[in-house]
Amino acid sequence: MDKSSKIYVAGHRGLVGSAIVKNLKNKGYNNLIFRTHSELDLTNAIQVAQFFESEKPEYVILAAAKVGGIVANNKYRADFIYENLMIQNNVIHQSYLHGVQKLLFLGSTCIYPKQAPQPMPEDCLLTGPLEYTNEPYAIAKIAGIKTCESYNLQYGTNFISVMPTNLYGPNDNFDLEKSHVLPALIRKIYLGKALENDDWDTLRLDLDKLPIEEVNGSSEKKDIIKKLAKYGIKAENDADLKSETDSQNVAIEIWGTGKPMREFLWSEDMADACVFIMENRDFKDCYPVDLMEVRNTHINIGTGEDISIEALAYLIKREIGFRGEFFFNTEKPDGTMKKLTDPSKLNDLGWKHKICLEEGIKRIYKWYFNNH
């Protein structure tokens, strides 16, 4: 890519897309194009066709997707499979029709089987059943990989699929119903600290910026306390808080046993990997040239290191300065017990992550504190 190449970043305001845009701008790319959802509905085939016809992007980074945590994935199953299939089908097909030079499709490592070998290499795709709670989303992303792969093989396009592990970073989703585990823990523990200190200025400011259901910073104390409790932030004396100078005993509920192992990647590291691939690698670099059957051409983006949910919670607790306790609700699902990517393919292509988890938690808490 040249610095003046016309690059369309789909999903530019989300966790993934915003990090990629920042990386591109920092490297001097000056012809980036975006559209908000209100300007362009990527599930609408006619709108997407009109956009490609008028803008004619040379490169496309497809970071737009409907995403969420375990609760949202399980609750909105139809939305997750339908919207993701429509978004990627429309953008990939129009990229082919309009001669896009290179496309990068972003998926997720939830594509791998529930009982995949650990760490998970790319060639374990489609070797077993998926984790049930996010099966619709995973199937959509698998379809995206195969769509890119199939267009490359039939039409000679240069579409590359990358599968990042669990991401966190600036512009993450901190909605307690729909967020992933790390940002959810950041916010729950942050609110728990405010509650234990009877810091109502902090609580109300946070809820004004990001209400929890119908409860915002102007709501009655009792309603705020009740809603926080619903989402696992529970004051010992939640019926009637003490005076401003007293502190509360607060417990944070965490779903499951805390034993599942998870891998986390700083979103700006992920963005750097994506731009590295766009600048330096092509589809032909993604698989051995002597294969009779071309499969598993996607690339994992990860650290190859994991941590238990319990240990993660205590890392965040220490960083935020929360004094309360954790309650692990074993009646709730754990999900897959271990999900660790094998990033050796990407490492062999010339890229490795830089930000460790401890440093990343410091950065994301600072970002959340400054923005909420």
Residue 127 has pLDDT above 50, yes or no: yes
**Enclosing domain of residue 168:** 7-172+263-306+338-356
pLDDT of res. 239: 46
Contact (CB, 8 A) for 239 and 188: no
DSSP state of 1: -
Residue 250 has pLDDT above 60, yes or no: yes
Amino acid letter, residue 194: A
As a whole number of angstroms, the distance between CA 17 and CA 8 comes to 11
Contact (CB, 8 A) for 1 and 60: no
- The set of residues, in sequence order, having a beta carbon less than 8 Å from that of 326 and lying 6+ positions away, is 251, 252, 253, 254, 258, 310, 313, 314, 317
As a whole number of angstroms, the distance between CA 66 and CA 88 comes to 11
Query: Is 182 part of a structural domain of the chain?
Result: no
Residue 72 has pLDDT above 80, yes or no: no
pLDDT of res. 246: 56
As a whole number of angstroms, the distance between CA 126 and CA 112 comes to 7
Q: Checking DSSP bridges between strand 307-308 and strand 261-262, what pairing results, if any?
A: antiparallel
User: % helix / strand / coil in the chain, to the nearest 5?
Assistant: 45, 15, 40
Query: Is 54 part of a structural domain of the chain?
Result: yes
Domain total in the chain: 1
- The set of residues, in sequence order, having a beta carbon less than 8 Å from that of 26 and lying 6+ positions away, is none
pLDDT in tens, 2-43: 999 999 999 999 999 999 999 999 999 999 999 999 999 999
pLDDT of res. 344: 97
CB atoms within 10 A of CB 319: 16
Better-predicted residue by pLDDT, 85 or 177: 85
Query: Between the ranges 60-69, 241-250, 255-264, where is the mean pLDDT highest?
Result: 255-264
Angle at 27 between CA 26 and CA 31, to 5 degrees: 90
Q: Give the active site residues.
A: 137
Query: Is 351 part of a structural domain of the chain?
Result: yes
The tokens for 203 are: 């609580």
Query: Is 30 part of a structural domain of the chain?
Result: yes
Residue 80 has pLDDT above 90, yes or no: yes
Query: Is 68 part of a structural domain of the chain?
Result: yes
Better-predicted residue by pLDDT, 130 or 248: 130
**C-alpha pair distances (Å), 137 with each of 67, 86, 186, 265, 303:** 8, 12, 24, 20, 22
Question: Can you tell me which residue has the tokens 């942050």?
Answer: 190
**If you average pLDDT over residues 217-229, what whole number do you get?**
96
As a whole number of angstroms, the distance between CA 357 and CA 363 comes to 10
pLDDT of res. 245: 45
Contact (CB, 8 A) for 280 and 102: no
Residue 318 has pLDDT above 50, yes or no: yes
Strand partners for 254? 328
The tokens for 136 are: 């619709």
pLDDT of res. 44: 98
CB atoms within 10 A of CB 301: 28
As a whole number of angstroms, the distance between CA 60 and CA 64 comes to 11
Q: Give the CATH number of the domain where residue 154 resides.
A: 3.40.50.720
Residue 237 has pLDDT above 70, yes or no: no
Average pLDDT, the chain: 94
Query: Is 211 part of a structural domain of the chain?
Result: no
pLDDT confidence of 244, banded at 50, 70, 90?
A: very low
Query: Is 364 part of a structural domain of the chain?
Result: no
As a whole number of angstroms, the distance between CA 181 and CA 71 comes to 10
pLDDT of res. 67: 81
Query: Is 332 part of a structural domain of the chain?
Result: no
